[in-house]
Amino acid sequence: MDRAGLPNAHITAFTSIAFHVGANRIVFGGDFTSPAGNPDLPLEREKAYRRKILLKALDAITQDVSSPTIFAVDESREG
């Protein structure tokens, strides 16, 4: 899609797989069962965490990248 001029971001817990298949913008999400969140968090914190992941993905599509790049929300994986 990038080659066609459509920037995109891949939200995943499996960043190494996304990296090796050539995804250009990789956003490290939550667990493999919930890549865009963490249902183990209390509801309000989980909503905030989901928002951070999606905002990071939107930020990632604005970045020029020439090779696979991993974008992380934060190290604690919480909102």
Calculate mean pLDDT across residues 6-32.
Answer: 92
What pLDDT score was predicted for residue 75? 52
CA 13 to chain centre: 8
Closest CA to 70 of 32, 15, 20: 15
What is the per-residue pLDDT for 76? 55
Sequence-distant (6+) residues with CB within 8 A of 63 are 25, 69, 71
- With 80 as the cut, is the pLDDT of residue 79 above it? no
* CA gap 35, 47 in Å, rounded: 13
